[in-house]
């Protein structure tokens, strides 16, 4: 008679990345984990020392182009590193912050105008300056109400950004405004510029990301801080498309850890004289959670393979967009299932589950709201069908 199969690791495909992340950044992540519960409850951002420590250990520069002072890791390697960081680190602000620094540094380096890259990329890579994206206005995302007025030798910036993740610690902001001709412009604003004001903002989740409002009141902007003068809209679309590729990586790793924690809890909890993990309905729930995470990994890794091969549309890629949408929906499902399986323990026995629920909810609007992405993908599908119909029409 055969016995039960030997236990196997759930995430065998990640052994190589897990070893790399544990070896290079395990101590750093453990240091962040030490006070994450207290910081989250208080709404305190990552400690200031983190930026320099992440840079000194090579984490910030891992995916920055080599010519910009980075290590030049490709999209797939970077995504998997972020996923493993999410698996080990209980603070979602870590994968968010390092991916944002790499993203902004890369966007500045690849822009046509060289002055912002020369001035701001080196301190970002070295961890002596933190950058944040100031984009959201609770309005039309491609027609900002923030205005940039030309003054002869420079510009004056006036407007309000309603939610800027990372603003509490940021030294510089990549932001977008409409110029005198109504065109969108990408530019850099410094925290200490005249007329720049930070304010409090409510946030469902990601409370350690340091979210703030950002107001510009006749803020002077030198001409050499303009990142994209002619096609700020294209610059924004490229940046957001790239963000969709990495936004869910850390949370996916965190959801894997949540499933494992949930399984351990059910194995150590007795109901009706049996471990909770032996009840078929509980096993079924854990199985559904595992299926959701494996499917999410497969979808996300397919998007990374597409980016790695250079086949992504930089402005709007349907596979990348579908991956972000699909992964977020699976993470919401897994988090919901953990509450259903664990009952009261998830509500008041362990704060990790509540943090995960709030943070995953925030992902609904990250790098494009889920409903908006559905509409955009529907438009792509309709356009593709019309194109196919015209090709098939013999007339």
Query: What total number of domains does the chain contain?
Result: 3
And the tokens for 4?
Answer: 């039960």
Q: What's the rounded mean pLDDT across residues 208-232?
A: 94
Percent of the chain whose pLDDT exceeds 70: 94
pLDDT in the model for residue 67? 95
Radius of gyration for the alpha carbons in the chain, expressed in angstroms and rounded: 22
In a 3-state reduction of DSSP, which class is residue 136?
strand
Question: In terms of domains, do 384 and 271 share one?
Answer: yes
Inside any domain, residue 7: no
Tell me phi and psi for residue 222, to 5 degrees.
Answer: -65, 155
pLDDT (tens digit per residue) in 43-64 = 999 999 999 999 999 999 999 9
Poorest-pLDDT segment among 5-9, 19-23, 94-98, 120-124: 5-9
pLDDT (tens digit per residue) in 302-324 = 999 999 999 999 888 999 999 99
Residue-averaged pLDDT of the chain: 90
Inside any domain, residue 395: no
Question: In terms of domains, do 69 and 21 share one?
Answer: yes
Q: Any idea what the CATH number is for the domain that residue 89 is in?
A: 1.10.540.10
Question: In terms of domains, do 28 and 114 share one?
Answer: yes
Distance CA 39, CA 388 (A): 54
Inside any domain, residue 242: no
Q: pLDDT-derived band of residue 202, with 50, 70 and 90 as boundaries?
A: confident
Angle at 365 between CA 65 and CA 131, to 5 degrees: 35
Question: Please, which residues have CB within 8 angstroms of residue 347's CB and are 6 or more apart in sequence?
Answer: 339, 353, 354
Task: Give the distance, in angstroms, between the CA of residue 302 and the centroid of all CA atoms in the same chain.
Answer: 18
Question: In terms of domains, do 107 and 159 share one?
Answer: no
Question: In terms of domains, do 199 and 257 share one?
Answer: no
pLDDT in the model for residue 386? 67
Inside any domain, residue 174: yes
Percent of the chain whose pLDDT exceeds 90: 76
pLDDT in the model for residue 6? 46
Task: Out of 111, 126, 141, pick the residue that ends a domain.
Answer: 126
Give the distance between the most distant pair of CA atoms in the chain.
87
* Residue 70 per-residue DSSP state: S
Task: Out of 126, 142, 164, pick the residue that ends a domain.
Answer: 126
Q: Any idea what the CATH number is for the domain that residue 139 is in?
A: 2.40.110.10
Inside any domain, residue 5: no
Does the structure show a pLDDT above 60 at 37? yes
Distance CA 16, CA 187 (A): 39
Among 224, 238, 244, 247, which Cα is nearest to 120's? 224
Q: Can you name the residues that pair with 187 across neighbouring β-strands?
A: 175, 226
Inside any domain, residue 209: yes
In a 3-state reduction of DSSP, which class is residue 203?
coil
Q: What's the rounded mean pLDDT across residues 264-279?
A: 91
Instruction: Provide the residue range defining the domain that includes 323.
Output: 247-388
Contact 240, 376 (CB under 8 A): no
Question: Please, which residues have CB within 8 angstroms of residue 172's CB and are 6 or more apart in sequence?
Answer: 120, 129, 130, 131, 132, 188, 189, 190, 191
Contact 187, 227 (CB under 8 A): yes
Among 11, 33, 28, 23, which Cα is nearest to 83's? 11
Task: Out of 62, 96, 126, pick the residue that ends a domain.
Answer: 126
Question: In terms of domains, do 118 and 142 share one?
Answer: no
Helices (DSSP H) in the chain: which residue ranges?
Answer: 15-33, 36-42, 49-56, 75-88, 93-110, 115-126, 232-246, 249-267, 280-308, 318-342, 344, 351-362, 370-392
Question: In terms of domains, do 230 and 337 share one?
Answer: no
pLDDT in the model for residue 1? 38
Does the structure show a pLDDT above 90 at 112? no
pLDDT in the model for residue 10? 62
pLDDT (tens digit per residue) in 340-362 = 999 999 999 899 999 999 999 98
């Amino acid at each position: 008679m055969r016995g039960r199969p030997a236990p196997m690791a759930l995430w065998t495909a990640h052994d190589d990345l897990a070893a790399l992340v544990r070896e290079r950044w395990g101590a750093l992540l453990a240091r962040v984990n030490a006070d994450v519960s207290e910081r989250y409850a208080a709404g305190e951002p990552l400690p200031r020392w983190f930026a320099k420590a992440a840079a000194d250990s090579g984490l910030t520069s891992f995916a920055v182009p080599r010519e910009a002072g980075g290590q030049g890791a490709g999209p797939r390697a970077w995504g998997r590193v972020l996923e493993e960081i999410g698996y080990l680190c209980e603070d979602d602000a870590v994968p968010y912050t390092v991916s944002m620094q790499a993203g902004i540094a890369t966007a500045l380096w690849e822009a046509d105008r060289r002055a912002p890259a020369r001035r701001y990329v080196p301190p970002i890579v070295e961890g002596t300056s933190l950058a944040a994206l100031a984009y959201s206005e609770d309005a039309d995302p491609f027609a900002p109400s923030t205005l940039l007025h030309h003054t002869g030798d420079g510009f004056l910036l006036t407007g309000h950004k309603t939610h800027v993740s990372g603003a509490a610690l940021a030294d510089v902001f990549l932001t977008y405004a409409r110029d005198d001709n109504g065109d969108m412009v990408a530019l850099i604003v410094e925290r200490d510029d005249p007329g720049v004001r930070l304010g409090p903002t409510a946030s469902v989740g990601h409370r350690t990301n340091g979210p703030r409002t950002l107001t510009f009141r006749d803020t002077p902007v030198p001409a050499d801080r303009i990142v994209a003068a002619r096609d700020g809209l294209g610059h924004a679309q490229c940046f957001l498309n790239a963000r969709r590729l990495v936004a869910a990586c850390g949370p996916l790793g965190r959801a894997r850890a949540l499933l494992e924690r949930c399984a351990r809890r059910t194995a150590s909890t007795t109901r009706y004289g049996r471990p909770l993990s032996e009840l078929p309905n509980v096993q079924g729930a854990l199985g559904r959670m595992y299926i959701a995470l494996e499917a999410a990994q497969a979808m996300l890794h397919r998007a990374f393979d597409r980016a790695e091969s250079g086949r992504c549309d930089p402005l709007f890629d349907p596979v990348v967009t579908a991956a972000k949408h699909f992964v977020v929906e699976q993470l919401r499902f897994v988090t919901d299932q953990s509450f259903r399986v664990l009952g009261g323990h998830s509500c008041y026995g362990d704060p990790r589950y509540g943090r995960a629920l709030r943070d995953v909810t925030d992902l609904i609007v990250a790098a494009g709201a889920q409903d908006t992405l559905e509409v955009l993908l529907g438009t792509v599908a309709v356009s593709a069908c019309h194109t196919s119909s015209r090709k098939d029409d013999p007339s």
